[in-house]
């Protein structure tokens, strides 16, 4: 799947009296939305973050074709972009929606509604295709509970971070959530080096306990990479001052309680 084939697939989804596919057809607006989305996706190189919202709104993505953007002052787009400009000043963030088309009340394009379970199932297929275009993504920021649920059903749940949706008075919490998430996942300058050092310390400790020099089936570093998001959360909660292999003990204790 590449960007062109993805957008073509998007454009073929059929609208209904409660769902508007704003990419469908050959009207001037539909062509502009497809081109705008293509240019946006082409501008993003090797992203490590993705922000996933619920669905396009009639004042925002349904008009522009790009998630969390608006040419009509949509509140969610404005709140998100204020935070992006402050926290990611030199980065164009990768954004998508759990359901990529505009769900609305029957026959009324100037309304928004929550996508149904069936629509979200359809959206999941597009989400998987979208993520396949950007395999460098490691951190999945879910803007709202709807996208959180879908992301956790699509990727490793431990890699998903929830951010309050800006709607219904959620502006401050949303912007603080974006700031906190970005700080948490970029606070260590050489994160991979830290993972290797802690992983090696754990391997040494484990071998000493087991009185062996045989290499482990899964190294400490490989384990930390697999559970990197959960480890980051644990680390930035202040647990990094403990002994080097504390996270491994924490994870084992958590696993045995399940």
Long-range CB contacts (< 8 A, 24+ apart) of 146-154? 146/54, 146/55, 146/98, 146/114, 146/115, 146/120, 147/52, 147/53, 147/54, 147/97, 147/98, 150/52, 150/98, 150/120, 150/123, 150/124, 151/52, 151/98, 151/127, 153/124, 154/124, 154/127, 154/128
How would you classify residue 89: left for phi > 0, otherwise alpha for psi between -120 and 50, otherwise beta? alpha
State residue 255's pLDDT score. Answer: 65
**Whether the Cβ atoms of residue 65 and residue 32 lie closer than 8 Å to each other:** yes
Question: Tokens representing 20?
Answer: 């508007």
Residue 244 clears pLDDT 70, i.e. is over it = no
The owner of tokens 């963030």 is 93
Q: Please tell me the pTM assigned to this model.
A: 0.78
* CA–CA separation, 190 and 185 (whole Å): 11
Longest CA–CA separation in the chain, Å: 71
pLDDT tens per residue across span 88-100: 887 889 999 999 9
Does one domain contain both 117 and 29? yes
Residue 212 clears pLDDT 80, i.e. is over it = no
Taking residues 10-37, report their average pLDDT. 97
State residue 132's pLDDT score. Answer: 97
Domain that holds residue 246: 191-257
Name the pLDDT band for 218 (thresholds 50, 70, 90). Answer: confident
Does one domain contain both 62 and 84? yes
Residue 245 clears pLDDT 90, i.e. is over it = no
Taking residues 138-153, report their average pLDDT. 96
Does one domain contain both 177 and 202? no
Residue 188 clears pLDDT 80, i.e. is over it = no
Name the pLDDT band for 140 (thresholds 50, 70, 90). Answer: very high
**Whether the Cβ atoms of residue 231 and residue 184 lie closer than 8 Å to each other:** no
Does one domain contain both 53 and 169? yes
**Whether the Cβ atoms of residue 44 and residue 37 lie closer than 8 Å to each other:** no
Beta carbons within 10 angstroms of residue 164's beta carbon? 19
Does one domain contain both 29 and 119? yes
Count the domains in the chain: 2
H or E element at residue 52? strand 49-53
Residue 258 clears pLDDT 50, i.e. is over it = no
For the chain, what is the mean pLDDT? 90
Position with higher pLDDT, 62 vs 235: 62
Task: Estimate to the nearest angstrom the gap between the alpha carbon of 16 and the chain centroid.
Answer: 28
Q: Closest by alpha carbon to 24, among 100, 97, 76?
A: 100
pLDDT tens per residue across span 47-89: 988 999 999 999 999 999 999 999 988 999 999 999 999 988 8
Does one domain contain both 92 and 72? yes
State residue 187's pLDDT score. Answer: 61
Show which of 167, 184, 201 is a domain's final residue. Answer: 184
């Amino acid at each position: 799947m590449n960007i062109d084939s993805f957008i073509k697939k998007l454009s073929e989804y059929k609208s209904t009296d409660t769902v508007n596919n704003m990419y469908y057809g050959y009207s001037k607006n539909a062509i502009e939305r497809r081109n705008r989305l293509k240019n946006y996706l082409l501008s993003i190189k090797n992203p490590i973050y993705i922000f996933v919202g619920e669905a396009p709104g009639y004042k925002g993505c349904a008009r522009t074709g790009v998630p969390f953007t608006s040419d009509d002052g949509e509140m969610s787009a404005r709140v998100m972009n204020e935070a992006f400009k402050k926290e990611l000043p030199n980065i164009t963030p990768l954004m998508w929606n759990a359901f990529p088309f505009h769900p609305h009340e029957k026959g009324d394009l100037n309304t928004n509604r929550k996508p149904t379970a069936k629509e979200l199932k359809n959206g999941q297929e597009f989400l998987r295709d979208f993520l396949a275009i950007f395999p460098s993504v490691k951190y999945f920021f879910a803007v709202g509970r709807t996208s959180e649920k879908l992301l956790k059903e699509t990727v490793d749940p431990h890699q998903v971070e929830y951010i309050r949706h800006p709607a219904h008075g959620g502006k401050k919490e949303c912007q603080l959530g974006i700031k906190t998430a970005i700080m948490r996942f970029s606070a260590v300058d050489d994160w991979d080096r830290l993972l290797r050092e802690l992983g090696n310390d754990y391997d040494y400790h484990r071998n000493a306990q087991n009185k062996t020099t045989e290499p482990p089936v899964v190294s400490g570093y490989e384990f930390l990479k697999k559970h990197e998001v959960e480890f980051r959360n644990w680390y930035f909660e202040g647990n990094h001052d403990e002994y080097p292999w504390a996270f491994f003990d924490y994870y084992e204790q958590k696993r045995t309680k399940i």
